Amino acid sequence: MSPSLKRGATSSEFEDVVIEPRTSDDPSSELPRASLGLVSAWGAAIIVGLGSMAAYATAPGLGAQAPRSWPAMARVAPDAALPTLVVVVHAYCTCSIATLATLANVLDDAHARLHAVVLFEIPDDVGDVRANPLFEHAHAIAGVEVVRDWGAHDARLFGAHTSGQVLLYLRSGALAFAGGITPARGHQGPSAGRDAILEIVESPSSDATRVTPVFGCPARASR
């Protein structure tokens, strides 16, 4: 007996049952096709969005036109006994939280052989920044000198254009490094800049300035 027939039934009882296929005029036949189109469009939008985010994160900012020696008119002074690491951070660049976190790691690995200064760039129209999360984070890093750079006075003298810009000056006053210390905007992890700084600390040399990309928001931007 055919498995499709109920017990006691004969095939003749089912001969008049005809299942008609849906035609193209049936609106319900378009539902799967429409759903498939929406899913495809949604997937394409996600891919484009992720690609745009990746491109944004890995696009470097404008590197510093840093002076070859410590600028004489700077309000901040270099350390007399150690190489001085200058880190420019804009008060409202959230990407720079990764720079500050990496700075803490660099100082740990440098074992007190670096003096670090964070130039905290504050726009002219901003008042108290003590509650600023970046300002608090910078102050929490042991051994770091945090300087409120009102109107980007010193950041301009150091030629910084991008938040997250790092400059390393040797005890002689010569510029040994200019670049960033993160692998991308707002990302922590191994980077050429971090490695270069630690190599210079191990073997200081003023023969050439090491340069790496810097990732962050434009400096001197408004809130």
Shared domain for 32 and 126, answered yes or no, is: no
Q: Higher pLDDT residue, 49 or 155?
A: 155
Tell me whether residue 13 is in a domain: no
CB 184 within 8 A of CB 152: no
Does residue 160 sit in the same domain as residue 206?
A: yes
HSE value, Cβ hemisphere, 13 Å, CA-based, for 219 = 30
Q: What pLDDT, in 10s, does the model give residues 114-146? A: 999 999 998 877 767 777 899 999 999 999 999
The reply to whether 206 and 104 lie within a common domain is yes
Give the separation between CA 181 and CA 212, rounded to whole angstroms: 8
User: 194 and 148, same structural domain?
Assistant: yes
Q: Does residue 102 fall inside a structural domain? A: yes
d(CA 49, CA 120): 32
Q: Per residue in 142-159, pLDDT tens?
A: 999 999 998 899 999 999
pTM of the model: 0.75
Domain annotation covers residue 197: yes
Query: Residue 217 falls within a domain, yes or no?
Result: no
Is residue 178 one of the residues assigned to a domain? yes
204 and 115 within one domain: yes
Residue 134: both structure tokens together: 């970046």
Q: In angstroms, rounded to a whole number, what is the distance separating the alpha carbons of residues 99 and 163?
A: 9
Provide the angle, in degrees to the nearest 10, between the axes of the packed helices 133-140 and 96-110.
Answer: 0
The answer to whether position 2 is within a domain reads: no
| Within-domain flag for 5 | no
Within a domain: 53: yes
The CATH number for 204's domain is 3.40.30.10
Number of domains in the chain: 2
pLDDT digits (tens, 9 = 90+) for 174-183: 999 999 999 9
The domain of 50 spans 27-58
Give the mean pLDDT of the chain.
83
Q: Are both 102 and 53 inside the same structural domain?
A: no
Examine the domain organization and report whether 92 and 173 are in the same domain. Answer: yes
Mean pLDDT of 53-78: 87
